[in-house]
Structure 1
C-alpha cells in the first residue's frame, strides 16, 4: 500500500491525514478554523475533501474535533471515537481537569493560536460512530484502536503500520502548551494522569518509530524508547 502521512497545523495544535490509494483518513480534526489549511495540505498530495473516508479521534476534547462536524454535515464524512468519549465529542460531558503549572509566554502562545484558529467557534458533533479497544477500522490505512484511558476515559492510541506511526493524542506531550517544557510527559488537562503511564505500557512492544502527539513535535523512536524518556 502506498501511504503518506501529512502533518497539518503546528506543534501547538496538530491534526494529521493518512493518504493512501484508497483515500484519506484524518486523525483528529484540529480547530474549527482549520478548513483552509486542511484543504491546502490535501491539495499538495493531489487530494481533496471528497477523498476523506473518515475521521478517527484520539479523544473527544474540543481542540481535536474542530472541523469534524463541518465535514460530517457538508461532506458526509463520519467521525469515529471511543465509546467512553462519545459524550465529550457530542458535548454531553465537559472535562474539567487542571492544566497544571503554567508560564505566561507559552500560555499566551497557546491561547493566541487557539483564538486565531477558531477555538471560540467549536461545534460538537451531532453524530458519532463508536469504536472499542482492539478494533481495526475499514478506513484507509486500516487504523487499529488501542485503548489508552488516562487523559480521558476514551483516549486511544491509533496504530497505522502503513505510515510507521502511533498517534497518541494528548496521552503525552512533547511540548507542554502551558509551560513550554519539552520533556516527554503526560499531557496536561488529564482526567487521570496517574493512569496514563500504565496504559502506555500496552504499546511497549510495538515496532512503529513515529510517535505522533496532538501538541508538540513528533517523537522519532519506538514506544519503548518513548517510555524510557517519559518524565515520571
Structure 2
C-alpha cells in the first residue's frame, strides 16, 4: 500500500498522527515512553516500523495500546503491536466481543448499500488491499471505564461515549488539551467523502440516536484539538464542535446521487 499520507506527523505536543487519508491512529510520546491509540489497517505495520526507525525509537518503547472501539479498520496492527512490544491492550468492556472477533470482517450494511458511489467503492477497495480481512482479534489485557485516568504514557482520561459501538470511548490528554475521539466524533463522512464535524453517518452506528446523545458526556471538557478516527484534526474549542455535531444530527449528511469521493 506504500507510504501513508501522514506517517508520524506531530499534530499536538507529543502526539503523532498516522493516516491514509481515511482512517487515523495515533502515538502519544511521554518522555520517550509511548502509547499507541488504535491501529489503522493491516498494511500500516510497515509505517509504524519505519517511523520508529526514523525517530530512533523501538517497539520496546511502546508500553500500552488503547482502543477507542473494536472495529476492524481501527485494529489492523493492534495485535502485532501488542505482541511485539509486550504491551497490554486497553479497551472498554462494552467492546470486548468485537475486539475478540465478533463480526470483525463484516462490512457495514450502509456501505454495502452505497457501493455504487465512487467514494465507498474506492474506500472499500483500499481497505481490502490494505488487509482489513486479515485483521486479527486482540487479547484485551485491561478494561477501562468512564472517567478512569489510565496509568500509561500520556495518562489519558476516559470518556465513555456509546452509540457508535457499545464501548466507544474518547481519550482526553488533559495537560495537552487534546481529545482523541475515535468514531464518536469525526470530521469525515466515510460514505460520501464529505468533510465536516459530526458523528458517524446513520447506520454506521450501532445506535445513531445514542451516539448523538452521548456527546453530552463531553460537555464542559476542555480541549482545543480534536483528533478523530476519520478525517483531519480539528482546531478550536470542543464546545463549538459539539454544537456543530448536534446541528448536523443523526444522519449528518444525506448520500447524494453524485457523491464523488475525497475532497483532498
When normalised by structure 2's length, the TM-score is: 0.81
Matched, 1:214 2:199: no
Distance change (3 Å), C-alpha of 1:56 and 1:127: closer
Partner of 1:21: 31
Partner of 1:99: 110
| RMSD of aligned Cα (Å) | 2.1
What is the CA–CA distance in structure 1 between the aligned matches of 2:176 and 2:165, rounded to whole Å? 26
Counterparts in 2 of 1:159-198, with a 5 A limit? 159-188=172-201, 189-198=204-213
Matched-pair contact (CA < 8 Å) for 2:90–2:140: no
When normalised by structure 1's length, the TM-score is: 0.91
Distance change (3 Å), C-alpha of 1:172 and 1:71: same
User: What's the CA shift string for 1:45-91, capped at 9, x where partnerless?
Assistant: 43221111111100011111111111222331111000111111011
Shift of 1:154: 0.4
What is the CA–CA distance in structure 2 between the aligned matches of 1:224 and 1:3, rounded to whole Å? 21
Shift of 1:16: 0.3
Greater CA radius of gyration, 1 or 2? 2
Counterparts in 2 of 1:81-92, with a 5 A limit? 81-92=91-102
Mark the runs of 5 or more structure 2 residues left unpaired by the alignment: 1-11, 250-264
What is the CA–CA distance in structure 1 between the aligned matches of 2:69 and 2:25, rounded to whole Å? 12
Mark the runs of 5 or more structure 1 residues left unpaired by the alignment: none
What is the CA–CA distance in structure 2 between the aligned matches of 1:106 and 1:29, rounded to whole Å? 22
Shift of 1:197: 2.1
What is the CA–CA distance in structure 2 between the aligned matches of 1:130 and 1:172, rounded to whole Å? 22
